[in-house]
């Protein structure tokens, strides 16, 4: 796995996730990650799909190694990101969930629920997500079956 200092990470949030996103970006910048904030840019009410879709498209195209989504519950913005065939966004509110999202599901987007997680727990999830490799093996077969082939 790449070191955080070698990673390109895309972030998206809504107004409820804005403050936590700022904390996450500071944490990642301190570790040398290259970041792009796809919005939102304030606590003014907004619609998370406006930011989740461009972020997910950029990760899907390989412009970024990973993404992070943050909204109040984490659900809406993860659901939106997961509409993209190449995205595996995992909603994580505890460190073991972040670990297994990478280890077993090869998640490429970490979803955080801003209203239901402390800053400390969120940063611990971020660290675990970005320091855990995909295990592959039997999990790779399952992950390969996720995209819808029509």
Q: Which residues are catalytic?
A: 71, 104
End-to-end CA distance of the chain: 32
CA angle 122, 127, 129 (to 5 degrees): 90
Tokens of 138: 């039997």
Between β-strands 109-113 and 8-13, what pairing exists: parallel, antiparallel or unpaired? unpaired
């Amino acid at each position: 796995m790449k070191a955080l200092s070698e990673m390109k990470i895309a972030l998206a949030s809504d107004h409820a996730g804005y403050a936590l996103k700022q904390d996450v970006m500071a944490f990642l910048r301190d570790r040398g990650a290259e970041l792009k904030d796809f919005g939102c840019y304030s606590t003014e009410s907004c619609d998370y799909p406006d930011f989740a879709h461009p972020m997910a498209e950029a990760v899907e195209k390989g412009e970024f190694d990973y993404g992070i989504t943050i909204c109040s519950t984490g659900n809406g913005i993860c659901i939106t990101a997961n509409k993209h065939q190449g995205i595996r966004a995992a909603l994580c509110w505890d460190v073991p969930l972040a670990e297994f999202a990478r280890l077993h599901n090869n998640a490429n987007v970490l979803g955080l629920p801003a209203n239901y997680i402390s800053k400390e727990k969120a940063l611990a999830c971020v660290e675990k997500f970005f320091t855990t490799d995909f295990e592959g093996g039997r999990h790779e077969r399952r992950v390969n079956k996720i995209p819808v082939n029509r």
